[in-house]
Structure 1
């Protein structure tokens, strides 16, 4: 089933240049959109700084979990087993297809924001979904990799929210230090 869904989507890669360019741009540049939006949120009030901090914590934890999974579990990329339509940049054959780092981080940030700011969170969730689709379109991940990665990122974001009491002293300290630094200028 995974292979069938992959092929159904990947068969169009290389046939529609404008879609290919869009998918490459989403895959390579979307992280900058997320970072820009987080910076804009950080520059607002304390509430938005807290959301940004929780999103950052979620992203860091997600990155650590993703790295750990890749150390202990290897799943070959679609292009290493079969002939697929592939768009550059092509990751290494030695890098596991599961989980997708792009997708896990995008979902961890999107869901972190969604838990506090619905409209912006929905927009980021759609962008995170597009990020995952772009990875399939480009021939780098299977649909199950994207679904699993979205779940990992989402679960981490929800877990960070429910354990926010643990993170609050750290977040308060970071915000306080930032405010002191800005007031010294």
Structure 2
């Protein structure tokens, strides 16, 4: 078992960004597909919706969060001292998620539904986010405040994105069940 973790760790260190993007994209796609089939009991998979989640997982979590967690935050606040971990958890939950995660998620969701990306689509996305922000933040904090204490305080840097991907499988299920519909059309 230890040898397997070492091999995976070597892969993560060798191609961290590509591995991160592949793992998180597949995870998000599969989490949404599972919610659709098992929780919502849909006969057919809404592939467009799952692609939204998969694309978002790949680009946001796999790329943006990789650099934010492992380079920006770790560069500015290195280490695992309790005060440093608290700062990284606070910045992730109070700045990164509300200011980057949710606006990006809503914008991608709306752009794929409208099949275009322009100012009207982004404004519609931000309006929807404004309508939902408190519930979104509370759901996010319930998962990510404790999870990111572990992310920054315990998990080795090369394992952070796989750890976050594992935890976020459950979180994506919550997000998919509360914000998964993409049938709205922007005019």
TM-score between the two structures when normalised by the length of structure 2: 0.29
* Greater percentage in helix: 2
TM-score between the two structures when normalised by the length of structure 1: 0.30
The structure with the larger Rg is: 1
